Structure 1
């Protein structure tokens, strides 16, 4: 993106600052995000939303703004931060340029840091508090007001149907290589549909969910205190287990999710305890006993759904996820299934943490 274009786009929003320079921010793999440095504070974050990935960008941005305004109205006197959006010159939540690109502008949150991975218990605990607080503060938001930006994102029946279709069309060599992994996925099918069945029956209620609760989507102060949840592109109606489960999946794996040496893949119970403690401190009062009971299954289910998606992509000849070598997606699927195995070995202790 040329500097002149960024300045021009920045000036399509209602701010009183003078553009000085920019810095590209590398967090996130889908959108283009820039720190806009101005002559005076505050600075801003300008983001181009990838409309080839997200089909209803206007709906997506409106989701983000509505949720931020809702949280802001709850915090008021708190020192906690919240994403704060700047309106365009024509009073929209976004600006659409002549090429059809959608842009949003946020105030930059000063003195904040992010982490790509969790390396100590304090970050796990504070991360749990942040995402628990996000879910608690939005628990009374009317989910019918939200656009479903990625339909069927965590729908297990849909993901399993994709897997079955891939089985039918997969090359024999790939089917052979993946035989053990396919068998493991198939054996877990019934258990992995429990949460969806509870959701569809209405026994577990729909609520606002973030849907991308990796630790890099949380801001911290420089002394490791939770500050703000960010990257709300995937905010949609869901169940609490999606957010809890995906956070645990990403925080508690002792190895990278494409580590091929499965001996290195283990479930970090200490991080689980810390995250769960922080999470429940913030949200327990707005959860039902049934929701709490099934939180551990949320972690297992979200890990499984990623294993299923990696395996499906492998059987489809790697058409979705970027790969670095031929069996990369199969390695990822095995990695996630090993994490489930390690998780299951500690299930009694894991369940004790939510009682």
Structure 2
């Protein structure tokens, strides 16, 4: 009985908190109810109904993961406003139906609200939209390519120098190799022995895996706005599987086009789950690759230089590799970053990515 009373009390307190925070934003509506959306691994997200009939997404940003939340929110709003400027002939109401739109807080000049130590932002909910966790056909891959290509095209004239680096050195290959080489010195003999094949792959590919970074640092590849989390679940689709818009722009920051293209390919074209242990089940889906690339280039090709176009396939290989490298590094470092379900989970993930990379290389030839 007492536990039920305590549970009801905590639920009511949480609802009052959500209501108070939501009504601190300048949306012109009043809170009616909310439900929690368990769609992300980092932030807390709530779906909010209001007395006006409008619906919103209220998000609490994890400031333990993202150290500069004000900069992160500013990044998102700058990009949203820039995209809005490309649709000057479209009303605000129509724009919010098909584009990510943020609501400003009432009592500050910032686009987030601070309650104790928590940071929040509010977005307009896009009606009749759906998301997918995995790609099940070429049509969806094609539409996903168009969406992420359109996002990069719309932001291609935005000065990426105005954005903060939300996660410093996120795709920096030299930094990732430095982390890897450091843990090689401290890893247990047992883990080194079990991971020897993967370690050899990383060592053998060091020169090739630095090509894109070297081109970026030399200025031969343009620094531009990149999304940096281009899995298919970060795209909204209509019920007839047509792309609506890209969402979850927390990781928008300066980068190169190959990051976004490559990471999308990595997540879309794996025939198995990211932690599938049976390597025989892992195969690169070249048809999904062709479909995604077709949609991507329809929206993006005119914005790309000949050098960027030439190295798009290497972007796919590099992003698969860097994910495998990060899993392997964490395994050798006793699993301090990624959550694991069993002792060799991260090693399985690393082998999975390296097998996918091998399949991609073989099929691309």
* Band of TM-score, shorter chain: over 0.9
| Deviation of 1:331 (Å) | 0.2
Distance 1:76 1:158 in 2: 42
Aligned match for 1:325, one of 339, 342, 346? 342
User: Secondary structure, in 3 states, of the residue corresponding to 2:45?
Assistant: strand
The match for 2:36 is 24
The match for 2:311 is 294
Distance 1:75 1:325 in 2: 50
User: Secondary structure, in 3 states, of the residue corresponding to 1:302?
Assistant: helix
Distance 1:139 1:72 in 2: 14
Q: Are residues 1:180 and 2:197 paired?
A: yes
Q: How does 1:69-218 map to 2 (within 5 A)?
A: 69-77=81-89, 81-90=98-107, 91-98=109-116, 100-218=117-235
Q: Which 5+ residue runs of structure 1 have no aligned equivalent?
A: 349-355
Distance 2:34 2:88 in 1: 31
Distance 1:319 1:339 in 2: 24
The match for 2:7 is none
* 1:154-186 per-position Cα deviation (integer Å, ceiling 9, x unaligned): 000000000000100000000000011111111
Distance 1:15 1:208 in 2: 28
Q: How does 1:234-273 map to 2 (within 5 A)?
A: 234-273=251-290
* 1:259-300 per-position Cα deviation (integer Å, ceiling 9, x unaligned): 000000000011001000000000000100110000000000
Distance 2:68 2:155 in 1: 22
Distance 1:76 1:182 in 2: 52
TM-score (norm 2): 0.94
Distance 1:123 1:198 in 2: 32
Q: Which 5+ residue runs of structure 2 have no aligned equivalent?
A: 1-10
The match for 2:20 is 8
User: Secondary structure, in 3 states, of the residue corresponding to 2:132?
Assistant: coil
Q: Are residues 1:47 and 2:59 paired?
A: yes
Q: Are residues 1:314 and 2:326 paired?
A: no
Distance 1:230 1:41 in 2: 22
Count matched residues: 347
| Deviation of 1:77 (Å) | 4.2
* 1:75-133 per-position Cα deviation (integer Å, ceiling 9, x unaligned): 344677211111101232010012x1110011100000000000011110000000000
Distance 2:65 2:145 in 1: 28
Distance 2:359 2:238 in 1: 32
TM-score (norm 1): 0.96
Distance 2:110 2:179 in 1: 38
User: Secondary structure, in 3 states, of the residue corresponding to 1:154?
Assistant: coil
User: Secondary structure, in 3 states, of the residue corresponding to 2:86?
Assistant: helix
- CA RMSD in angstroms comes to 1.0
Single out whichever of 252-261 and 88-97 deviates more from structure 2: 88-97
| Deviation of 1:29 (Å) | 0.6
